[in-house]
Amino acid sequence: MRNFTTVGGNLFRLAAEQLGDATQWIRIAQANALIDPVVIGVANLVLPDKDPAAGGGVAAQ
């Protein structure tokens, strides 16, 4: 895990740029207790480590 600061945007783009897979946005959301993938303003987020096996974009039920 590492800290990351972003200004606006969305978790899909952030996951694509930082984790190499936009479908891993849910991992960023879960690590930061977020439910909305839209980032408004300046946000300090925790990014999970890259995991090529993760993905899907759907939270576990």
Q: Spell out the residues 6+ positions from residue 38 whose beta carbon is closer than 8 angstroms to its own.
A: 10, 11
User: 3 pLDDT exceeds 70?
Assistant: yes
Looking at residue 29, its amino acid is: A
User: 5 pLDDT exceeds 80?
Assistant: yes
**Confidence (pLDDT) at 52:** 81
CA 44 to chain centre: 12
Q: Domain locations in the chain?
A: 2-47
Distance CA 33, CA 10 (A): 15
Q: Give the tokens for residue 27.
A: 């991992």
Query: Tens of pLDDT along 16-60?
Result: 999 999 999 999 999 999 999 999 999 999 999 998 888 666 665
**Confidence (pLDDT) at 56:** 66
- Residue 11 near residue 28, CB atoms below 8 Å: yes
Q: What is the pTM (predicted TM-score) of this model?
A: 0.85
